[in-house]
Copies of this chain bind each other. A is one copy, B any other.
Amino acid sequence: MTLTSQQVRQLLDQAVASATQMELQVCVAVVDSGANPLGFLRMDEAFLGSSDVAQRKARTAVLFRCPTDAFGKVIEQEKLLGMSGSNQGLCAFGGGLPILHNGQLLGGIGISGATAEQDQQIAAAALATLFQRQ
């Protein structure tokens, strides 16, 4: 089971809608279960540097099958030196979530542009609507 292109667009649109409602400007990235790019959008006025960060968050959430903020806590507690530089660069703070359905990993979503908490909130809001809409 994989995310369809239609679902990817729903995720992008929903994330943008949430960010707009919160008066924030973010980048949104969606990757598949192989951590390969499926979709991306940069909102008007989002930081230029948030593009790469959003993509790293989405990849990190898939590569280690967990939210990026939880991943960051493990890195810090376990003192995993060098971990965040692995896999061509991870992102170990909030804003990236794995996309799971019935226990199966379908991909990941990463948001960047606001605070880590806000980024994660936008990611969660996008995911919340994913399987309701169908």
A residues sitting closer than 8 Å to B (CB atoms) are 4-5, 8-9, 16, 32-44, 47-49, 51-53, 56, 60, 62-65, 72, 75-76, 78-93, 115-116
Instruction: Find chain B residues with CB under 8 A from A72 CB.
Output: 79, 81-82
By Cβ-Cβ distance, the 5 closest A-B pairs, closest first, are A34-B34, A49-B63, A81-B92, A82-B84, A40-B40
Choose one: B35, B78, B84, B88; the contact of A48 (CB below 8 Å): B35
Q: Which residues of B contact A76 (CB under 8 A)?
A: 79, 81
Q: How far is the CA of A34 from the CA of B51 in the complex (A)?
A: 12
Please tell me which one of the listed residues B37, B52, B62 contacts residue A86 in the complex, with CB atoms under 8 A apart: B52
